[in-house]
Structure formats: C-alpha cells, structure tokens
Structure 1
Amino acid sequence: MSLELLANELLLDLFDYLNAHNLLRAFHGLNTRFDQLLFIQLQKYYLDFRFISKNDFEYFCQQYLISINDRVISLHLSDDIETPNLPQFFLSSGYHINQFIHLKSLSIDYISSFDLLNQIILQCHELSYLTHLNIMIHNSQDPEENFRDFINNIWSLSKLTHCYLDIQYPYATWLLEMSIISQSVKYLSTKNISYSSYSLLHLFKHTPYLQRLYIGSIGQCYDQHIQTIIPSLISLSMTAQFTLQWMKNLFQQIPNLCYLTLEINNIYLDGQEWEKILSNYFHNIKIFRLKMTIEFSPLENIEEQVDQLIDSFRSYYWIEKHHWFVRCDWCPMDINQTGLLYTLPYAFDTFYYIDGSQSKSTNPNNFNYSFRNQSKILHYTTNHKRDYSKNKILYPIQFFNIRHLKIKLPFNDAFLSLIPKLDQLISLDVTLNNRDLGYSQLQTLLDRASHLYSLRFCHLNNFSMTSFNITSTSIRRLEFFQHFDVRLRYFNSKECTILANASLAFQCEVLMIDVESRTNILELINIMPSLRALSVRCKDNESNQNETFETNDNLIEWLHQHLPSKYTYSINRNVYNIARINVWIYKAS
C-alpha cells in the first residue's frame, strides 16, 4: 500500500512517532498535501537533537525551527561527544527555551555548567505547560551556591510534576540548602546524589506532595528518627546503606506505600523477617522488589545455606497471598562466598553474570521469562577455569531484551545460550584478553546484533589493529578506551591508517580515540567519509598536562589552521576529561 493512500488522521498518528528534524527532512516538499499536514494540521512536534549532525542541526534551525517552535512539546539537548557544546551553541544562536511556549518536556544531557543550566531554568519559568524536566550533569568545579540556585530554580517551577536529576557533583548534598517548597512535584528521581538521614528529611519537607520517589543512593543513615509523615508517597525505590532501625523509622513515615523497590548489601534478612516488616508497616503493599547481597558462612555448606534461605520465602504470605517469588544465585568458586537474592521477575536494569553460577528459586517453573523484559544491561564475566564439556550451562535463565552488553572476550560457548537473540542490542562494551580468539567471537556477536549502534573497545597494551577486520552494517559509533589513565596506549600512524581503511570506518559517524600525533587527527578526518564527531586525546599535546588548558590552546589553534577548508568545525575541550578535544564536523554537501 502506498503511504499517500493513508487517511490524514493515520498519517498524523504516524508522525507522532518521528523526531521533528527527521520528519521534516523526509516529508517536506514532497507535495502540497504533506506540507499542509506538517505546517498546518500537525500540532505536536518532538525535537531530539542528541544524534544530529552539525549539518542537519544548522539547516534545521535556519529552515524550520522558527516555523514550528510554538508546537514543540518535547525538546532534548545534549553535550555528549556526538553533539559537543550543543546547548550553549543553541542558546548563542538566538534561540531561547521560553520561545517554545507549549513545551511540556525538557531534557538536557551531559551538560557541565550550573550557570548555563540556571539560565535555561529561569527561562522555563515563563512556560505555562512544562511538567517534565530531565537533567544529566557532571560538574566538579562550580561553587556550591550555583548548585543551590539550580535546585531552588527547579523547585520554583509552578507546573513541574516529573523531575529526573542525574547529578555528579561533590556538593550535591546541598539539597540541605533547598529553601523553596514545591507545590507541584509528584514524581522525583535523583541519581548520584548522596542522601543522609537529615537531607532526606529536608527533601520531604520541601516536596510535600511526592507520590513516587527514586533515590539512587542513601548513605550516612544513622538511627535518627524521621518525623515528617508523607501520606502521599505510594512508590519508593532506593539503593542504600542503612541500618535496620533507620529503615523501620523511614517506613513509619510512609504508611500508604504500595510499591517498594530496595537494593541493599549491608542488611541480611530472611523471608520471615521481611514478611514481618512488610506486614507491620505497609497494609496496602502491592509490589515488593528486592535485590540483596548475601554473605554466606564459610563454616557451612553454601548450598545448604541457600536452601534454608529460600525455604524462608515459601510461606503463605509470599506464595499464596502476593505471588511473590525469589531466586538466589551463587558461584561455588567465589572466594568471597557471596550470593545474590532477588525477587522475580527481575526488576533492575543491570544484571551481573559470572559463568559457573548456580541458582535456586521458590518458583516451581523454570521462570526464563523473569528476565525477558526487565534486564536491559548485562555484565558478563567469564571463568576460563570452568569445564563445560559435561554440563553446558547451569543457569536456568535467558535474556531476550538486552540493550547494553559489557563482556570480556573470549567467552565460553555456553554464554550464547543465555542470549538467544540480540536484536535489541544497541551498545556493546568489549574487553579483548585474547585478540586471536576474541575477534572471532566478537564477529559472532556482531552478526546477531542487527541494530547495534555503538561498539566500545577497552584495549590492553597488547591490543593489535592488524586483526581489526570485523564487519557490521549497523555500527555508527566506535570508541577505543582504557579503564585507567596510567601508561596510556596511543594509536600510532600505522594503526590509524589501518583503522581509517577498515570497513567499519567508512560508515563510522562518531569516533573516540587516543593518537600519538596531531597529524593522525587530520588523517582520520580526511579518510573517514561519514565522520561527523571526533573525541580525541593527542600524545604530542600532553606537554600541557600540568598546565591549565585554555579554550584556544596550541592544539586547537593548530587544528583550525590545518583542518580541511572544505569543512567547518566546532572544537572545544571535553569538560569531563580536559585532556580530550571534541570536534563537531560540518561537511557541506
């Protein structure tokens, strides 16, 4: 069926699933009917700039943005290596957030300046429909008052109901200095903000209408009694280091809780003890999700301890009343003799798997579907000492919806039975321990990952580019990195040439790499035809490592002088790693 045969209502519904710049690039100018749908009838635009090229960004802003800005309801900006410095560039180009008068959702990723964020948030105060705010920031330099102003400016947004904050900042506990009471925030998620007992109490007092709260981390929780009751809170999720008494004090203040998710590693409670706590404090509990680290006694048989623990979760309360099942995993070769107990289905994004692990559950079925939809990130560790010749796999689970996989190669063949398909995988993080066997197994994974976008290599000192002949039709982002910044391994000219002429390089749009010479940067940009963003650390610039890097330092000036004149560039220091330079490339067609 031809697309043009669809009714206007169906086409408008279809357009709701497309990003604004892709939508207009694909359909504008085809005919009068599509133009009327786009510029007259379509009332909602979703604008996501996270993966846009510099070419497309400038063209879109010049040709379309002023025509649709009063109909943009969702805006997403990012300062990632794919779009370096985009939020500041966007604002300096004459655009302001308050121009999007019907904006409902604003997201900003990888931004580094509270000053810039405060400018944006202050503009948001003029928006009458803004209900959702999502901010990711990494900042280690701004003074504390900038963070305090940032938090108070957010809590002053009168219509804001959903707030998601992922903040890496050493003084993030300045939530204590929050002075504004929000009358609107009902859903709050905070990540990388460390709470104490007092700061959590302070948050409750200044967000009295909270209904759902996600706390990424709680520490310094002494047995201080929390006296602020939050009757509106119905959902709580937290990763925490707390005492049992503190946890009970907290539970007393949230009597109407219906949904509780806990990830803990310093409290050991069996099924009977959890049943007592949940029964005493939460009469309306509907869903309980738990992930708990267990330290087994080295003096007793581990499997017998697992049986005893699992049996404590087989009571009427767990099985018949709530239909809550648990599983306990342990690895017999673990010298620390620890295990992991969690409720089913698995409710956490990240799962760590060590081959050779064993498992027991209160559910009578195999329960493979427990991981079908929940686990999105899988960290896999190989135990090369284990013999799989007799028993290929002892773990009764499979992962069907993995989107991010972190793995060390080579892996045991039994691992492939854990991942029957990888059609949802978008990023792969690989460490090569044995380059000869590792490349072959990596290609096996790539052949199964039809939608893989990003491939990250953690390369060791013996990493060899001579075997870099892997292929994939979907990969657009390549990263070569090391976990430690000591004895860095830089790609030499020969290795850069091998990379630039590899099949993946011709389709690679985003590259992160460390090179020996600044001339290697020119080579990569000249040879790789699709490259639109480059994040690079250059060894011959390391003489400046003990000095303060300036925006227009020697290397940046040199690049401006020597980069091909047929392209234009935005070049700046990476705020997360000042030794790294980000280059955003405009290749005119």
Structure 2
Amino acid sequence: MKFESLPNEILLDYFGYFNALDLFYAYDGLNYRLNKLIRILPLHLNFQYANKSKFGEFCRTMSLNEELRNQIYALHLSNQETDFQIEAFLSFLSLNQFINLRSLSITETDSIDSTKIISMLSSISKLQTLSIISSDFPFNTINETLFIKNLTIFYCFLNELYQLLQHMPLLKYLNIQCLNDDGYSYDTNRLSNTPCAIHLKELIIGDLQCTFMNFKIFVKQIPNLQILTISTRKNRDMFEANLWEHLIRISLPHLITFDFNFGCIYDCIDDCIYGCIYGCIYKRYLYKYMFDEF
C-alpha cells in the first residue's frame, strides 16, 4: 500500500510522533490532503538543537499564522548549544499567543529572558506542565497564582520552594534535581500552619542538600504525598532510620512508596540498612533503597 493511500486516522497517528518543526519541513506543501491533515493535528514543538535557519523560518510562519499557533500544545525552548534561541523566539512571539499550550519546557535561559517568561506564565490559561532546567531562573520573583499541576526544576533553594508552593496550589507532581537549604535553619513559627501543597502526590529530589530538620519542617506542607523519591550523598544527617520512620508516620500518613538512594561511607551502611528495613516492615510500605559506598 502506498503512503498516500493510508486512511486519515493512520496518518494522523503517524504524524503525532513528529516534532512540529520536522513535520512541516517534511510534509507541508506536498499535496492538498497532507496540508489539511497536518493543520488539524495537535502539535508538540521542540526547538532544542534546532537548525538556526529552520528555527527562524518557523517562528516567522507562526507569528503570521494564528491557526498554527493554536495547534501547539507543547513547546520546548533552549539556549543549550544554540545562539540566544529563547531571546530570538521572544522577539517573534509572546508565550500568551499560544492559547492551547499545556506544556512548556525551558532549558538554559538567562536572567533577562527568565523575567520575561515569568511575566507571561499567568496569562497562559491552559498551562499545566512546566519544566525549567536552568540554574539561572529567579523563582523567587513569581508572585502570581499559577495553575500548574506538574513542575520540573533544576535547582532550587528551600525558601524559594516554599514560595513556589504558595503560588502553585494545584501542584500534583514535583521533580527537583537539586534542593538546597543554603545552610539556613527554618523556624516553624514563621511558616503557615495550613499546608500549601495539599494536592501534591509525587515528589522527586535528585540531590537533597538539606538538614533532616529542615526537610522535616518542609514535608508538613505536603501531607497527602503518596510517592517520595530522594537521593543524597555524604549527608550523615539523613542516616537515622528511626527519624525517617517517625517522619513518615506523623507527617506523611498517605505515603505508599519511598524510593531513596543514600550515599555514605562504608562503616555506616549496616545500621542504616537494618534500621530502614525494620521501618519498611513495620509500616508495610513499598520501599526501595540503594546505598553507594565511599
């Protein structure tokens, strides 16, 4: 069977796997039928590693074509291995012109572009998933309510995280590659007694650089958490099985899965493992654990 003879349903399913940039470059203008099909399809647009000339041409096309902008439900902008791509994109378009955008990913942005992006976030009414993989993003300047449900960020201080949770009340999934308390001791009296992230179900922290006490204070903001994944290295403050058991029992009563990867020196491994296994059996949770030896 020839490609042109395939039914529309199969072609639409096939086109759905394409990055919008590649889809239009490959099929736009071939014939009337394909032109119609690629213009009714929800599009995900990933500009990471995009050819500079293709990037510029597609941005110009979108700036003149509202219907094309309305097709895009996912957008990825990146300065990684590119020359000021995000700045160039924002010179063509505003994020709030994408009225059906549900997912936005930003990689390696600078402070100027970050400020512009933050100013637009609240006006993207359908946005539910946000990924910021950049060490230079001013989360502490977010001061409007965002109805984000899924958030992935590269680096965050604990005080910034408190502020983020205050402005994202519907958050269900949070992935932080590195969380740092900046050596600061947090006082429970300065925090709201009402948890601010009651909808959060899953938390992943790739590198936890906080004291246990600060983390204990923090989890009071996420009482309905069901899945907790943590990795930390050479942080002996985190190697007290009894403290973890008490923390989960008191502050995380709905926890189902605790997946942790703790790196420590060899002589502390046995006690940690036995203590954690005891806690696992006692609480009847599904736990996974891994210890790296140094």
Query: Normalising by the residue count of structure 1, what TM-score does the alignment of the two structures yield?
Result: 0.43
8 Å Cα contact 2:195/2:221 also seen in 1: no
1:118–1:199 CA distance, 2 compared to 1 (3 A): farther
Structure 2 equivalent of residue 120 of structure 1: 117
Structure 2 equivalent of residue 378 of structure 1: none
Question: Larger Cα Rg: Structure 1 or Structure 2?
Answer: 1
Separation (CA, whole Å) in 2 of partners of 1:123 and 1:207: 23
Structure 1 equivalent of residue 202 of structure 2: 212
Separation (CA, whole Å) in 2 of partners of 1:200 and 1:109: 33
Separation (CA, whole Å) in 2 of partners of 1:177 and 1:273: 31
Match runs of 1:134-533 below 5 Å: 134-139=131-136, 146-150=138-142, 152-153=143-144, 156-158=145-147, 160-167=148-155, 172-175=157-160, 178=163, 180-195=166-181, 205-223=195-213, 226=217, 228=220, 230-240=222-232, 241=235, 242-244=238-240, 245-252=242-249, 253-266=251-264, 268=269, 269=271, 272-280=274-282, 282-283=283-284, 285-286=285-286, 288-294=287-293
List alignment gaps of at least 5 residues for structure 1. 295-337, 339-589
2:104 to 103, 106, 110: 106
8 Å Cα contact 1:223/1:246 also seen in 2: no
Amino acid in structure 2 at the alignment position of 1:175:
E
1:198–1:189 CA distance, 2 compared to 1 (3 A): farther
Residues 1:132 and 2:129 are matched in the alignment: yes
Describe the SS at the equivalent of 2:199. Answer: coil
Separation (CA, whole Å) in 2 of partners of 1:161 and 1:200: 28
Structure 1 equivalent of residue 91 of structure 2: 92
1:62–1:218 CA distance, 2 compared to 1 (3 A): closer
Q: CA deviation at 1:104?
A: 0.5
Describe the SS at the equivalent of 1:138. Answer: coil
Separation (CA, whole Å) in 1 of partners of 2:154 and 2:210: 20
8 Å Cα contact 2:43/2:73 also seen in 1: yes
1:198–1:218 CA distance, 2 compared to 1 (3 A): farther
Separation (CA, whole Å) in 2 of partners of 1:181 and 1:28: 41
1:77–1:261 CA distance, 2 compared to 1 (3 A): same
Separation (CA, whole Å) in 2 of partners of 1:102 and 1:212: 26
Separation (CA, whole Å) in 1 of partners of 2:46 and 2:71: 14
Structure 1 equivalent of residue 11 of structure 2: 11
Structure 1 equivalent of residue 22 of structure 2: 22
8 Å Cα contact 1:166/1:192 also seen in 2: yes
Amino acid in structure 2 at the alignment position of 1:207:
A
When the two chains are superposed, the root-mean-square deviation of aligned CA atoms in Å is: 2.8
- Which stretch has the larger CA shift, 23-32 or 255-264? 255-264
Q: Deviations over 1:466-509 (max 9, x none)?
A: xxxxxxxxxxxxxxxxxxxxxxxxxxxxxxxxxxxxxxxxxxxx
Amino acid in structure 1 at the alignment position of 2:231:
T
1:18–1:65 CA distance, 2 compared to 1 (3 A): farther
More helix, by proportion: 2
8 Å Cα contact 1:161/1:186 also seen in 2: yes
Structure 2 equivalent of residue 69 of structure 1: 69
Structure 2 equivalent of residue 45 of structure 1: 43
1:175–1:265 CA distance, 2 compared to 1 (3 A): same
- Which stretch has the larger CA shift, 249-258 or 185-194? 249-258
Separation (CA, whole Å) in 2 of partners of 1:3 and 1:276: 60
8 Å Cα contact 1:182/1:208 also seen in 2: no
Separation (CA, whole Å) in 2 of partners of 1:100 and 1:278: 47
Structure 2 equivalent of residue 401 of structure 1: none
Separation (CA, whole Å) in 2 of partners of 1:261 and 1:177: 23
8 Å Cα contact 1:161/1:187 also seen in 2: yes
1:177–1:11 CA distance, 2 compared to 1 (3 A): closer
Identity of aligned residues (%): 25
1:193–1:271 CA distance, 2 compared to 1 (3 A): closer
- Which stretch has the larger CA shift, 95-104 or 29-38? 29-38
8 Å Cα contact 2:202/2:225 also seen in 1: yes
8 Å Cα contact 2:75/2:105 also seen in 1: yes
- Which stretch has the larger CA shift, 6-15 or 248-257? 248-257
Separation (CA, whole Å) in 1 of partners of 2:128 and 2:161: 24
Q: Deviations over 1:157-190 (max 9, x none)?
A: 12x10000012x7xx3432662735320010011
List alignment gaps of at least 5 residues for structure 2. none
8 Å Cα contact 1:132/1:163 also seen in 2: yes
Q: Which has the higher contact order (CA 8 A, sep 6+)?
A: 2
Amino acid in structure 1 at the alignment position of 2:198:
P
Describe the SS at the equivalent of 1:193. Answer: strand
Query: Normalising by the residue count of structure 2, what TM-score does the alignment of the two structures yield?
Result: 0.83
Q: Deviations over 1:502-557 (max 9, x none)?
A: xxxxxxxxxxxxxxxxxxxxxxxxxxxxxxxxxxxxxxxxxxxxxxxxxxxxxxxx
Q: CA deviation at 1:222?
A: 4.6
Separation (CA, whole Å) in 1 of partners of 2:171 and 2:185: 20
Amino acid in structure 1 at the alignment position of 2:77:
L
Separation (CA, whole Å) in 1 of partners of 2:151 and 2:57: 32
Match runs of 1:524-543 below 5 Å: none
Describe the SS at the equivalent of 1:29. Answer: coil
Structure 2 equivalent of residue 516 of structure 1: none
Count of equivalent residues: 275
1:289–1:228 CA distance, 2 compared to 1 (3 A): same
Q: CA deviation at 1:62?
A: 2.2
1:57 to 55, 58, 68: 55
Q: CA deviation at 1:9?
A: 0.8
